[in-house]
Amino acid sequence: MDFKKIAGGITASINRAVQLTEEKLGQTERTQYDAEFEALLLLADRSEKWTERMAKTSEAVMQPNPAYRVEDFFSGKLEAAGHRRRERPSPLEELGSALVAASSEIGGIGVDEGGGGGIKFTAQASSDGAAATARYAKSLALAGHAELRLAQLEADFLASCGSAFVAPLRAHLAGDARSLRKERRSLEIFRLDLDWARTRLRRCGDDEAARRAAEQECDKMEAEFEHQLRVTRLLLEGVNATHDYHLNCLNELVAAQLNYHSECLNRLQQLQRQMADKTE
């Protein structure tokens, strides 16, 4: 174990804490970034905050039930580990299945299967009542199958929404945004080290040996700080390119929504015509 390295790290941490405290108390100076760099920092902060917010609200739209969202999260982890994901029917699927089942139950009440596969109503209901029941049962079946189709369209849309919009946002937060946060933390550490070295230099007084050592330390810290500043600036400037990419993702989301609602409208209009034919 390198005790000298450990001791040096502890000393550096204490020096940074002292420097930061004195800055907050206004007892020492600190290195200021230029206005352009400050603007890039502000843009990156706002971008990360709203990217996280958009990802969360999109996931809430895709699955409004928070308990199911947690379950889906862990199911995804298990699926990645080789376990099979538990399928959960959507509300539209449940509605469609209920309508189809109701059609079968209601359409079968008071009827007998005749020869050749035909169906005739028994004497339990009048002919007018039997006809009304038959129309109702057939309409239930039509509506049920339509709802099942809408459920499939919804599932396809949600999958598109997840892959085209939410996944890129999450990938950015887990990748570029996290890397930027790491580099910004490193920049702040180098900045504190540089300012602490400058503070020591100002406080050297007439001790020439201490002054030369402090100047060498300042030069070293400044070189490290400037290098980290360039690295961080490059990552910050990449935020604009990220916005261009996320704009393309947003366009894909809108296109998927348009296609989804258009297909749903067509299917419902078809159902309306079919039900009108059955009631005539």
Q: Give the pLDDT score at 255.
A: 97
Instruction: Specify if 211 maps to a domain.
Output: yes
pLDDT score recorded for residue 133: 84
Q: In the predicted model, is pLDDT for residue 100 greater than 50?
A: yes
DSSP summary character for residue 115: G
- Classify residue 132: in a domain, yes or no: no
Answer whether residue 126 shows pLDDT above 60: no
Residue 165: is it exposed, middle or buried by C-beta count within 10 angstroms (0-12/13-18/19+)? buried
pLDDT of residue 112: 40
Q: Which segment, 22-36, 45-59, 101-115, is predicted with the most confidence on average?
A: 45-59
Q: What pLDDT shows up at residue 19?
A: 81
Q: So what's the pLDDT on residue 278?
A: 64
The rounded percent of the chain whose pLDDT value lies above 90 is 54
Residue ranges making up the domain that contains 160: 34-110+141-279
- Pairwise CA distance, residues 192 & 183, whole Å: 14
Predicted pLDDT of residue 15: 82
The rounded distance, in Å, linking the Cα atoms of 172 and 244 is: 13
pLDDT value, residue 51: 98
Residue 60 CA, chain-centre distance (Å), reads: 9
Task: Kindly report, residue by residue over 190-218, the tens digit of the pLDDT.
Answer: 999 999 888 888 888 777 888 888 889 99
- Asked if residue 12 has pLDDT above 90, the reply is no
With respect to residue 2, please indicate whether it lies within any of the assigned structural domains. Answer: no
What the block records as the tokens of 136 is 């109702």
- Decide if 19 is inside a domain: no
More confident of the two residues 11 and 275:
275
Instruction: Answer whether residue 20 is part of any domain.
Output: no
Count up the domains in the chain and report the number.
1
Average model confidence (pLDDT) for the chain? Answer: 84
Element (H, E) at 111: strand 111-113
Q: Assess whether pLDDT exceeds 70 at residue 105.
A: yes
- Average pLDDT over every residue of 169-181: 96
In a domain, 125, yes or no: no
CATH of the domain at 47: 1.20.1270.60
**How far is 101 from 179, CA to CA, in rounded Å?**
54
Does 99 fall in a domain?
yes
For residue 66, being part of any structural domain is answered with: yes
